[in-house]
Chain A
């Protein structure tokens, strides 16, 4: 079993990175989501007319789970949308390779409602800027709030989350990888660091020739 989980973690780590430490296991991740759900329900104004909108890719399953937890906490079950912010990126025409575009789905009118944007990792804030622009093209919500599972700092824009699972300090060389059952087979949050360039990782065959 240990070997199997090590293998699946390795598959999730992008080339040039290695795992530094685990930030959350499945249980801590689920506790963090349930705390956020309770906080949303406690702020009555947010819970009424609530729409949860996940930012693709991993914000979407997180938003679906939050919707279930919000309903379990006694609020009406909120509709869930999905946002692909690719077309609103500020670096779309300069990125080296074209990201795969997926469909944006906003199932209800957002006019006058509270939209909670859900993303896995909050970092520079540029994704959130793009998501705000895209949401506003769908209507005029009463307010937009931001929920992030991990806030890792290093903001480049004046953006601040309303609901956070865990705040951590990172360096820019590091990376945070959120794994969710729906996409990756299991729940886990990992802090990654760049592999030293000089020597290949010990004891493991190089993944890329």
Chain B
């Protein structure tokens, strides 16, 4: 019996709750390795992983690289800014050329939604989506869920507020799917200009942060994605902070043992006040450690046997 019977990890939307649980359980078992004197196990010796990143990333890429090294896979990272993509090579041509070197897995970050699905159709390697456009970021949602589950011992029945730039956020989408599949109650909150059409079909949307945070077990803050903003979505960062920023006063509306999550990088003083980011309820650094564990679990489940049939 295989807990995760798929060849790729393209998104959360198509996963069964039991498959999500299998990934989280595996990550929980693997986390201990990061505390060992020798942080390396031979599980994926001889496997090659290519990290192909068409968008800037610190956390996600470093996290995948650490996970690959801990599991003894050979890995190479390619950033589009220093690659032939600058010379106009298409994604498929780049992937086909990399594939000629026989990697077992390609981890892809791309600005176009669906790019990993496209590669999965054309490549032999296992494909892991490390963020595609405004679509999905499955490993982020999994590490958020792992962090919540560790602290709250469950996901079912939790009230989770997701607040911020919903329009550009793949993290929000993956999280809404994952949390609702696992039985949590999700509330979304953003200014009307940053609410994508149709998202209210997935979870209720409010324009008032106080309402979203009220009685919450956890609040996930989303980054204002300045780099993706082409128009005037809100008057100023200061105004945004006043209306939608998570301040200490607003945290008080949530449950006493509320957890504050942020996928990083944070805009301090915009979506989140510094006191909150560094406060006792903040689990932002747990998220980073759990990120490595979740990525190790994904690598292992996709490359560690049973993936062929």
Contact = CB atoms under 8 A, between A and B. Distances in A.
Nearest to B40: A137
Interface string B7-47: 00000000000000000011011101100111011111011
B36 A93 contact: no
Nearest to B46: A93
Given A97-B2, A138-B37, A92 B305 contact: yes
Given A93-B303, A98-B304, A98-B305, A137 B3 contact: no
Contacts of B259: none
Nearest to B42: A88
Contacts, number: 66
Contacts of B28: 103
B300 interface: yes
Contacts of B279: none
A98 B41 contact: no
Given A87-B42, A103-B32, A104-B32, A98 B306 contact: yes
Interface residues of A, number: 23
A116 to B, nearest CB: 20
A84 B29 contact: yes
A100 interface: yes
B305 A137 contact: no
Contact of A137 (B25, B30, B38, B304): B38
B167 interface: no
Interface in A90-104: 91-98, 100-104
Contact of A102 (B2, B29, B33): B29
Nearest to A101: B29
Given A102-B29, A137-B36, A138-B37, A93 B304 contact: yes
Most buried by B among A87, A94, A134: A87
A139 interface: yes
Label chain A's interface by main secondary structure.
loop
Contact of B32 (A97, A98, A105): A105
A98 B25 CA distance: 13
A97 B37 contact: no
A93 B46 CA distance: 10
A133 interface: yes
B230 interface: no
A97 B3 CA distance: 9
B301 interface: yes
Nearest to B47: A93
A103 B29 contact: yes
B1 interface: yes
B41 A95 contact: no
Contacts of A94: 305
Given A88-B41, A102-B29, A138-B36, 13 more contacts: A86-B43, A87-B33, A88-B42, A88-B43, A91-B305, A93-B303, A98-B2, A98-B4, A100-B3, A103-B29, A105-B32, A137-B37, A137-B38
13 contacts: A87-B33, A88-B41, A88-B42, A93-B47, A96-B309, A98-B300, A98-B306, A101-B30, A101-B300, A103-B28, A103-B32, A137-B40, A138-B36
Interface of B: 1-4, 25-26, 28-30, 32-33, 36-38, 40-44, 46-47, 71, 300-301, 303-307, 309
